[in-house]
Each structure stands twice: as C-alpha cells, then as structure tokens.
C-alpha cells in the first residue's frame, strides 16, 4: 500500500534494470521521485504502468544524458520547484558496460564507459553535493559493482570505471561526513538487467558466469531493496558499502 513520504529522491538510469526496479520500489514507499534517462518513452511507459504507484503528484520524468551536467541540473531544478523540496537522496545508477580484451578495444567504446560511469557520477555529485553540505542533510548513493572491487579479464575499462566510483565515493564520504551527508556505495554482482543487451561480448561473458548457478543471478529488485535499506537507515547510520552477489557467484 502506498503512503506519502515528503522526501525527494532522484534516480539516474531509471528506464530499465536496477534503476527501474528502484523507481518502482521507492514509488511504492511514497517518495517524491525525479526519474532520469535518455529514453523518455521508457520512462513514460513505466510511470503509466497501472501495476505501480506512480502518479502526477509524486513523479517527474526528465530526459537526461548524464554525461551532460546541464541535463541533470535542469531536471533537479524542475523537480525541486514542482515538489517544493530539496533533493534528499541522489542515486547515481546510470551505467554502461563493455567487454573485450583491452588490446582489442576501440577508444570510442572505452571513452563512452568512462563518460557515463565516471563523469556521469561526477556530474550528479556536482549538481547536489554542495547544497546537501549547506543544508547538512542528504544521501548520495553510487551504484558501483563487484567489478569495482576486483579486476576481471575482458572488463578492464568497466572495472577501472567502477574502481573510480569507489575511490570518488569514499573520498567524498570522508569530506562530507562532518556535514551529516551520507555517501553510500552499492556493489552488486551479476544482476538481471538490460546492460548486456548493448554489447555482444559482455552478453557472452555474463551468460558464461550464469552457467551452473542453479539458484540464479540477482534480480534488479534485490539490488533495489539494498538501496532502500541503505537510504532508510537512521540518519546517524551510514552504510558505507553494501556488497551483494548471487550466492553461487565465485568472482
Ligand atoms: P541497464 O542497461 O538495464 O540500465 C542502465 C540504465 O542507465 C538505463 O536506464 C539507461 O537509460 C541508463 N543510461 C545509460 N547511459 C546513460 C546516459 N548516458 N545518460 C543517462 N542514462 C543512461 O543496466 P543495469 O540496471 O544493470 O545498470 C545499472 C547500474 O548497475 C550500472 O551502473 C551498472 O554498471 C551497475 N551494475 C550492474 C550489474 C549487472 O550485472 N547488471 C552488476 C553491477 C553493477 P537510457 O538508455 O534510457 O538512457
């Protein structure tokens, strides 16, 4: 059952996978939501889906490429005006993957991963962190990966981008701790989503990892629940990192 929670939560990459599942769960909990992604049609489809708790009063969608900081800033300005609330939680979830040996990768693909997975996160932080520090309140949740904790053959730049998310998050966490702002890293293992749909080698790599996992891989909702858990912890508790993976994932 939906209740109303007078907090504004921003989710990047809300049009599929983990971001979409997080949007659904946070809507169910009654949060005011700003949902960002490039595919506005997918956001529209999601918020009009009668199975979920989205409505005009609690949701704003905004077409946004996270590599463009002004896209994020405009969305945040529109949402803070619509709801007359500051951003209480910003979830840097948008991300892309790419897999192939480094010696064979095109620079274009490498740069795209860096742009979305690192610069996109920096852009999100740039839009909200200063205000959170001034207000002495707020939570920034960055979606990293097990690939941000250990390297994996074929995923060099993706791992590099997620190691960067860890380093940036931990430094930011330390810098804003005395301002009562929380910085959380969520590090999932293999999760059902559309991330492998754009890269054949990544698809093969993940399918290989899935083989023999009789209990299955994580569902996007599993990750969404860990995000909600971290956010709903009492204000004096900062869950600095949640690492979750399929039980049978050995990596
Ligand atoms: P999906 O491909 O299902 O979702 C990715 C989301 O990011 C989409 O909503 C997409 O929206 C958005 N996105 C991609 N590029 C941009 C961009 N330039 N600007 C704005 N939005 C963008 O993948 P996941 O749900 O798996 O990925 C979510 C996060 O989880 C990523 O950071 C990923 O690295 C991380 N992760 C995923 C794991 C997995 O196994 N699936 C494991 C560990 C971490 P649109 O295309 O509409 O812009």
Instruction: Give domain status of residue 187, yes or no.
Output: yes
State the Cα–Cα distance between residues 199 and 130, nearest whole angstrom: 36
Q: Is 158 in the active site? A: yes
Ligand 1 center to residue 94 CA distance, Å? 4
Q: Specify the number of domains making up the chain.
A: 1
Instruction: Give domain status of residue 13, yes or no.
Output: yes
Task: Write out the residue range of the structural domain in which residue 126 sits.
Answer: 4-243
DSSP E strands, 13-151: 31-37, 59-63, 87-92, 139-143
Find the catalytic residue in 31, 52, 111, 158. Answer: 158
Here the CATH number for the domain that contains residue 21 is 3.40.50.720
Instruction: Give domain status of residue 175, yes or no.
Output: yes
Instruction: Give domain status of residue 65, yes or no.
Output: yes
Instruction: Give domain status of residue 172, yes or no.
Output: yes
Question: Checking DSSP bridges between strand 5-12 and strand 87-92, what pairing results, if any?
Answer: parallel
Task: Write down the pTM of the prediction.
Answer: 0.97
Instruction: Give domain status of residue 33, yes or no.
Output: yes
State the Cα–Cα distance between residues 251 and 184, nearest whole angstrom: 22
Residuewise pLDDT in 10s, the chain (251 residues): 446 689 999 999 999 999 999 999 999 999 999 999 999 999 999 999 999 999 989 999 999 999 999 999 999 999 999 999 999 999 999 999 988 999 999 999 999 999 999 999 999 999 999 999 999 999 999 999 999 999 999 999 999 999 999 999 999 999 999 999 999 999 999 999 999 888 888 888 888 888 889 999 999 999 999 999 999 999 999 999 999 999 999 88
Instruction: Give domain status of residue 249, yes or no.
Output: no
Instruction: Give domain status of residue 250, yes or no.
Output: no
């Amino acid at each position: 059952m939906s209740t109303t929670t007078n907090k504004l939560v921003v989710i990047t990459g809300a049009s599929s996978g983990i971001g979409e599942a997080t949007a659904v769960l946070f809507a169910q909990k009654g949060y005011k939501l700003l949902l960002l992604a490039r595919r506005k049609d997918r956001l529209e489809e999601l918020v009009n889906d009668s199975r979920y708790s989205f409505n005009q009063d609690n949701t704003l969608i905004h077409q946004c490429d996270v590599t463009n900081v002004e896209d994020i800033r405009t969305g945040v300005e529109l949402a803070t005006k619509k709801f007359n609330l500051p951003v209480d939680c910003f979830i840097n979830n948008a991300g892309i993957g790419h897999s192939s040996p480094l010696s064979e990768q095109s620079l274009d693909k490498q740069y795209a991963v860096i742009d979305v997975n690192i610069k996109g996160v920096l852009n999100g932080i740039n839009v909200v962190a200063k205000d959170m520090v001034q207000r002495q309140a707020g939570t920034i949740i960055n979606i990293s990966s097990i690939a941000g904790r250990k390297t994996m053959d074929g995923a060099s730049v993706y791992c590099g981008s997620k190691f960067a998310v860890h380093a940036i998050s931990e430094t930011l966490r330390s810098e804003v701790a005395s301002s009562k702002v929380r910085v959380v890293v969520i590090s999932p293992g293999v999760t059902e989503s559309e991330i492998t749909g754009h890269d054949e080698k990544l698809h093969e790599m993940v399918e290989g990892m899935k083989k023999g996992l009789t209990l299955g891989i994580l569902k996007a909702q599993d990750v969404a629940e860990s995000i909600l858990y971290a956010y709903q912890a009492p204000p004096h508790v900062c869950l600095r990192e949640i690492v979750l993976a399929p039980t049978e994932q050995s990596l």
